[in-house]
Amino acid sequence: MKSWYKLTLLLVLGSIFAGIVSCKKEDEKPNGGSPVVYYIRSTDPALSDSLLVGTFMGSLIAIVGDNLADTREIWFNDQKATLNPSYITDKTILVNVPSTVPSTVTNKIRFVFGDGSELLHDFSINIPAPVIAGTKCEYVPDGGTMVLYGDFFFEPKVYFPGDLQGEIVSLSKTEIQVKVPDGAEPGNVVVKTNFGAAKSGFLFRDNRNVLLDYDGRNHETWTAPIVNTPLAPCSGNYAFFKHAADGAWMWTNELTMQYWAPRGRGNVPVATGNVSDLVLRFEANVPIEWRDVRMEIFFAPYAEDHGRDVPGTVFARWKPWKSGPYTTDGWVTISIPLTEFKYSRDDSDDNENGSTQISNLNALTNVTMMLFGPANGPNPVQIAIDNVRIVQK
């Protein structure tokens, strides 16, 4: 009887102990309770099956592991991420990779937990090479400041043709202001960082197919005067449109710039190639508010005539004041695709689509730029123009 009692007691105690052990195993955290990262993936549903070993700055990622709920800090290289407690659970963390370029690259994520312990996980941040999107002005004199627009300008160096390095005077991630070195020549500008290099799509002091530079290539002298004051020059002399009270349909010499090929470079087309591939460029400086009266720009056949009344003449209408009074902070480069030459003389001012197009560049040699059109009232105008050219986009 005693043996039976002892056996029953042992079985009962064994069951209780087994239950205790079983409960302990269910409550026990994986990896002994220590944090662990299993993998990292994109938060993009289309890419959720792809595991990441690196990503770009600013990306949102999902960190998957165990025992992560006590995470207090996450560092990518030497840059601290911003954490949202709502996006931290025991098994996942959603976090944006910092958008600041690191000073020290470790290719690690460093986790800091509430008890002061840390965890390192291999992960690289892909920092893009610089991108040059454009410039404020393609023509800048030696010693002047050139403004470059783009992205990923991280501790850059800027080189002008001839491998001449410019001095950076102002810098952000998307803009560089750089002093043009003495002796810089026409060509591409290059921006270099520790993460790559970029060559400008535009040409510094673009000297291709320059029709008018107002130094050696001039227009008719009785139209807009050629000067080098009162505005600081862009590259030597410039044409200066100026009037105290420009009004509707005022055809005045000082607001007209006419180039006649018979008195210029001869019977040579203004450009060759496909109209869709070409752009009219020039530098402009508008020091006071331009509020009204469009600038008409058009080409004409070989003759000593402005060509505005020639049947088939196709116009571009430059109206930068359309969304409000227009001024420039110094010289800027203006680009007008030849596909924007689409208006006939009789198209209404509110017709934005135009009714025509340039059909044959080979027959066009003359160039006219003139302020002419409807206006709400007389307004003062000052517009400087330089380096008129037609080039590939």
Containing structural domain, residue 113: 34-126
- Specify whether 232 is located in the same domain as 279: yes
Is 22 inside any structural domain?
no
- Specify whether 56 is located in the same domain as 193: no
- Specify whether 103 is located in the same domain as 151: no
Q: Which stretches within the chain are classed as H helix?
A: 2-27
pLDDT number for residue 30: 66
Distance, CA of 180 to CA of 142 (rounded, Å) = 5
Q: Which stretches within 201-257 are classed as H helix?
A: none
Domain end position, chosen among 93, 126, 159? 126
Distance, CA of 239 to CA of 384 (rounded, Å) = 6
Domain end position, chosen among 126, 157, 176? 126
Is 376 inside any structural domain?
yes
Is 163 inside any structural domain?
yes
Q: 167 Cβ partners below 8 Å, 6+ apart?
A: 178, 179, 181
Distance, CA of 198 to CA of 131 (rounded, Å) = 6
Distance, CA of 306 to CA of 365 (rounded, Å) = 11
Is 101 inside any structural domain?
yes
Domain end position, chosen among 199, 229, 251? 199
pLDDT number for residue 17: 34
**141 exposure class (CB count in 10 Å sphere: 0-12, 13-18, 19+):** middle
Residue 52, by phi and psi: left (phi above 0), alpha (psi -120 to 50) or beta? beta
Residue 247: HSE in the Cβ half-sphere, 13 Å Cα cutoff? 3
Q: What is the pLDDT of residues 301-335, one digit of tens each?
A: 999 988 998 899 999 999 999 999 999 999 999 99
Burial 147-159 (b: 16+ CB within 10 A, else e): bbebebbbebbbb
- Specify whether 254 is located in the same domain as 269: yes
Find the CATH number of the domain harbouring 87.
Answer: 2.60.40.10
Mean pLDDT per 10-residue segment, the chain (393 residues): 38 36 46 90 84 94 97 98 97 95 92 97 94 98 98 95 97 97 97 95 98 96 96 97 97 96 96 97 98 97 91 96 97 98 96 96 97 95 98 96
Is 318 inside any structural domain?
yes
Task: Give the DSSP per-residue string, 301-345.
Answer: -SSSS--TTSTT--EEEE-TTTTS-B--SS-EEEEEEGGG--B-T
- Specify whether 354 is located in the same domain as 214: yes
Distance, CA of 368 to CA of 363 (rounded, Å) = 15
Counts of helices then strands in the chain (DSSP H, E): 1, 26
pTM listed for this prediction: 0.82
Is 13 inside any structural domain?
no
Specify the number of domains making up the chain: 3
Q: What is the pLDDT of residues 237-279, one digit of tens each?
A: 999 999 999 999 999 999 999 999 999 999 999 999 999 999 9
Is 186 inside any structural domain?
yes
pLDDT number for residue 25: 41
pLDDT number for residue 49: 77
Distance, CA of 357 to CA of 314 (rounded, Å) = 6
- Specify whether 111 is located in the same domain as 137: no
Is 112 inside any structural domain?
yes
